[in-house]
Amino acid sequence: MALIVQKYGGTSVASVEMIKRIARNAARLHRAGNQVVIVVSAMGKSTDKLLEMIYLQSKAPPERELDVILSTGEQVSMSLLSTALHTIGVEAVSLTGRQAGIITDSNHTRARILEIKEERIVKELQQGKVVIVAGFQGADENGEITTLGRGGSDTTAVAVAAAVGADVCEIYTDVTGVYTIDPHMVAGARRLSYISYDEMLEMANLGARVMHPRAVEMGKKHNIIIHVRSSFTGEEGTIIREVTSVEEKFIVNGIACDVDLAKIAIVGVPDKPGIAAKIFAAIAEAGISVDLIVQSIRKEEDNDILFTVTREDLSKTLSILNEVIEEIDAKEIYHAEDVAKISIIGAGMANAPGVASTMFNALAEEGINIEIISTSEIKVSCLIKKDKINDAAEAVHKAFNLGEENAPVV
C-alpha cells in the first residue's frame, strides 16, 4: 500500500499500444491497493508538430501563445491514458496543469512552479481513482497557461510527489537507469542501483541526459525517492536518494562526458580588479551558463581568461564579448569547438585522497593532454581534445574499476 507517482516521457506514450501498456501497469498497482498518480508528457513527435505549425505563422511567436499551443500535447496524451484505464475497468481522471493545481510564475516557456494546490489530486485519489496529470505545464495565478521548459515533466512529477507525500516517484524513460558512464561510449558501463542527489546532479549537469537537474534538485529539496527506470523492459532501474552513511558513499560512482562544448580564450586582459566581473556579468545577463573558468597570469600586467560555454551559446557569447573587448582592453579573443569534458563523480571523493591523480594518470597513459582542470567536493572535470573523448572514457572507467559491482577504494 504505497502512494506512487509515475512519470512517462514522450517516447513512452508514443503509440496506442504503449499507452495501453502504461494503463495495464497502473491498473496492476492500483488493484494491489496502491494509490497511483501518473504524470504524462506529450506523445512522441507531437510537440515538434505543434512547433512546426506555430513557426509557420511566425519566426518569433509570442511566448504566451507558444504555451497555449504546446500545452495541448499533454492534454491529448492524458485523455488517452485515462480512457485506456477506463477501458480496463479502472476509474481514472485526467487533469491539466491548472486543474491539478500546479501554480507557476508567469514566465512563459520557462515557468517555475510556485506551489501545488494538491486538494484536487488528493480528493480524486481518495475516491479511488488513478489520477493523470499533464506534465510540463501549469497556470499562473490569473489562470494563464504556462509551460516549464526543459525537463518540465520530470519537474512536475517530483513536485507532485512532494505535494502529495508520495513514497516514490518513478521516472519511466527510454534508458534502463543511470550508468557508471554512457553505455554507448564504453561497453563495460554498469547500471548503478543507487545514486545520491548530488551525484545525480553532477551527472545531469555534466551531460548524462537521464533526468533534468531541476527535477533532481527538487527531489533533493523535498527528499523524494526517485526511481529512474525503463518503460520498455520493466526491470529495476536506479534509485536516487539521500546517501548519509559513509559506507554507502562510493569514491567514484560514475563518469560524465560532454562533447557539446566550446572553449573561449580572452587573451591579454589587463590585470585590474573588476575585469573578470565585467566580462562574466555581461555573459550572465544574456542567460548563458559558463563552466570551467581558468585565469592565468602570463606577464606582470596581462592575464588570459579561458572558459567554456555550450556550443549552442557560442556565437551569442562571442558577440557579447566583441562588445566589451575594447572596454576591457583585451588583445584578442580565440575560440575552439574541438574540446570535450570528462568528469568523475562520487560522493565519497572528498574523503579519499589520490582520486584526481588516478584520473590524470589514466589520461596521461593514453597520451591525452588536459587543457583545464576543475574540481568540486564530489567531482573532478578535465577539458581535453574532443577526438580523444572515447579513449579517455574507456581509460578512466577502467582505472576506477567501474565495470565491477563493488569498485574498490583507490
Minimum distance from residue 94 beta carbon to its own copies (Å):
6
Q: Among 45, 62, 354, 387, which residue interacts with its own copies (rule: CB under 8 A)?
A: 62
Kindly state whether residue 56 participates in binding its own copies, applying the rule CB under 8 A.
Answer: yes
With cell 565491477, the residue in question is: 404
Q: Which is nearer to its own copies, 28 or 272 (CB)?
A: 28
* Count of residues that bind its own copies according to CB under 8 A: 36
- Comparing CB distances to its own copies, the nearer of 120 and 386 is 120
Smallest distance, its own copies to C-beta of residue 115, A:
17
Beta bridge partners of 194: 239
CB nearer its own copies, residue 87 or residue 376 = 87
Which of the ranges 59-67, 169-177, 245-253, 356-364 carries the binding residues for its own copies, by CB under 8 A?
59-67
Q: Is 51 a residue that touches its own copies (CB under 8 A)?
A: no
Binding mask 114-153 for its own copies (x = CB under 8 A): -----------------------------xxx--------
Which C-beta is closer to its own copies: that of 46 or that of 308? Answer: 46
Does position 80 interact with its own copies (CB under 8 A)? The reply is yes
Query: Could you give the CA distance from residue 209 to residue 240 in angstroms, rounded to a whole number?
Result: 15
Q: Which stretch binds its own copies (CB under 8 A): 56-64, 175-183, 231-239, 400-408?
A: 56-64
Least CB distance to its own copies at residue 400 (A): 48
Site for its own copies in 4-33 (CB under 8 A): 16, 19-20
Residues 6, 41, 47, 71: which binds its own copies (CB under 8 A)? 71
Q: Among residue numbers 324 through 353, which ones bind its own copies (CB under 8 A)?
A: none
Q: How far apart are CA 363 and CA 260, in angstroms?
A: 20
Q: Does 76 bind its own copies (CB under 8 A)?
A: yes
Residue from 3, 29, 51, 69 binding its own copies (CB under 8 A): 69
187 is a site residue for its own copies (CB under 8 A): no
Out of 36, 37, 39, 78, name the contact with its own copies by CB under 8 A: 78
* Closest CB 131 distance from its own copies, rounded Å: 13
Q: Which stretch binds its own copies (CB under 8 A): 92-100, 226-234, 327-335, 386-394?
A: 92-100
Q: Is 364 a residue that touches its own copies (CB under 8 A)?
A: no
Q: Does 45 sit near its own copies (CB under 8 A)?
A: no
Hey, what's the cell of 78? 492524458
**Choice between 69 and 265, CB closer to its own copies:** 69
Residue 216 grid coordinates: 533532481
**Does residue 65 interact with its own copies by CB under 8 A?**
yes
- H/E/C letters for each residue in the chain? CCEEEEEECHHHHCCHHHHHHHHHHHHHHHHCCCEEEEEECCCCCHHHHHHHHHHHHCCCCCHHHHHHHHHHHHHHHHHHHHHHHHHCCCCEEEECCCCCCEEECCCCCCCCEEEECCHHHHHHHHCCCEEEEECCEEECCCCCEEECCCCHHHHHHHHHHHHHCCCEEEEEECCCCCECCCCCCCCCCCECCEECHHHHHHHHHCCCCCCCHHHHHHHHHHCCCEEEEECCCCCCCEEECCCCCHHHCCCCCEEEEECCEEEEEEEEEECCCCHHHHHHHHHHHCCCCCEEEEEEECCCCEEEEEEEEEHHHHHHHHHHHHHHHHHHCCCEEEEECCEEEEEEECCCHHHCCCHHHHHHHHHHHCCCCCCEEEEECCEEEEEEEHHHHHHHHHHHHHHCCCCCCCCCCC
Contact 286, 279 (CB under 8 A): no
Kindly list the residues in this chain that would bind its own copies in the complex (CB under 8 A).
16, 19-20, 50, 53-54, 56-58, 61-62, 64-66, 68-69, 71-72, 75-76, 78-80, 82-84, 86-87, 93-94, 96, 98-99, 143-145
